[in-house]
């Protein structure tokens, strides 16, 4: 399993230092939560900050686009240095084209799945992407409570993937701390995203190490 801390809960006055801390502690990548104040009520950052993070690290960057007009912006995030870009299917009218556009930009395409989105309706899309982010909170904020039942959603996505896309990488995102790592692994997750459990901790490096050990 891999751990990708979400910078959403990092101290933005010391972003380079925060990146270095989790990288040196062993994080496998960084998760960048892009929010536009429309698709989700919260507003975070755009490609300028992604490009700044890119200059701080060689770790893989996963941009999670919680924005209403993702297709218009994927090129900007790819050029900013994102290695992987996940979109929310509800916010993308022509998903097949957007996935093809992401591949043409040499970016790994991902699908971010909201807590009650029917998984059966996403089977074809899950077969077409490299990774799925199973949201275990409603998108929009860090530090929310984990939605019980989300591990079952990971299990269901794993089952779909076994049939349609065995190499699909499954990410669980939201309310994750060290105590949930084993359950995430048992459910079939390959990657965990953690924001507040890492950057809200008194010692983020120790928090990363604790999660890696778990």
Ligand X SMILES: O=C(CO)[C@H](O)[C@H](O)COP(=O)(O)O
Cα angle, residue 159 at apex, residues 67 and 113 outer, rounded to 5°: 10
Region from 45-53, 68-76, 96-104, 137-145 binding ligand X, contact rule CB under 6 A: 137-145
Measured from the CB atom, the residue of 36 and 173 that comes closer to ligand X is 173
Active-site annotation holds for 186 = no
Give 150-184 as a DSSP string: HHHHHHHHHHHHHHH-TT-EEEEESS--GGGHHHH
Angle between helix 70-80 and 47-56 (nearest 10) = 20
One of 29, 109, 195, 204 touching ligand X (CB under 6 A): 195
Among 80, 85, 193, 201, binds ligand X (CB under 6 A): 193
Options 174, 180, 191, 204; binder of ligand X; rule CB under 6 A: 174
**CB 35 to ligand X: min, Å:** 7
**Quick check: 144 binds ligand X (CB under 6 A)?**
yes
Active site residue 173: yes
CA angle 187, 89, 50 (to 5 degrees): 85
Q: Tokens 């409603």 sit at which residue?
A: 138
User: How many helices (H) and strands (E) in the chain?
Assistant: 9, 8
Number of other residues whose CB lies within 10 A of the CB of residue 145: 9
Choice among 11, 36, 173, 186 that is catalytic:
173
Annotated binding site for substrate: 6, 64, 140-143, 175, 195-196
**Contact between 188 and ligand X per CB under 6 A:** no
Contact 115, 154 (CB under 8 A): no
* Residue 33 binding ligand X, by CB under 6 A: yes
Ramachandran region of residue 96, left (φ > 0), alpha (ψ -120 to 50) or beta? alpha
Residue number of the CB closest to ligand X reads: 195
Using the rule CB under 6 A, give the single segment among 6-14, 90-98, 153-161, 182-190 that binds ligand X.
6-14
List interacting residues with ligand X (CB under 6 A).
6, 8-9, 31, 33, 64, 137, 139-144, 173-176, 193-197
């Amino acid at each position: 399993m891999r751990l990708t801390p979400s910078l959403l809960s990092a101290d933005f006055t010391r972003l380079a230092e925060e990146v270095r801390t989790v990288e040196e502690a062993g994080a496998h990548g960084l998760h960048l939560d892009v929010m536009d104040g429309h698709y989700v009520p919260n507003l975070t950052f755009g490609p300028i900050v992604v490009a700044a993070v890119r200059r701080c690290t060689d770790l893989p960057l996963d941009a999670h686009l919680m924005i209403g007009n993702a297709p218009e912006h994927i090129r900007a995030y790819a050029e900013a240095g994102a290695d992987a870009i996940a979109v929310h299917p509800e916010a993308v009218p022509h998903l097949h084209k957007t996935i093809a556009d992401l591949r043409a930009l040499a970016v790994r395409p991902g699908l971010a799945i909201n807590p009650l989105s029917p998984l059966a309706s996403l089977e074809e899309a899950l077969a077409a992407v490299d990774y799925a982010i199973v949201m275990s909170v409603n998108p929009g904020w860090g530090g929310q409570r984990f939605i019980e039942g989300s591990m079952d959603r990971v299990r269901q996505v794993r089952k779909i993937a076994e049939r349609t896309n065995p190499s699909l990488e499954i990410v669980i995102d939201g309310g994750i701390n060290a105590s949930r790592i084993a359950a995430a692994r048992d459910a079939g997750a390959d990657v965990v995203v953690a924001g507040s459990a890492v950057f809200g901790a008194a010692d983020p490096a120790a928090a990363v190490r604790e999660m890696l050990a778990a």
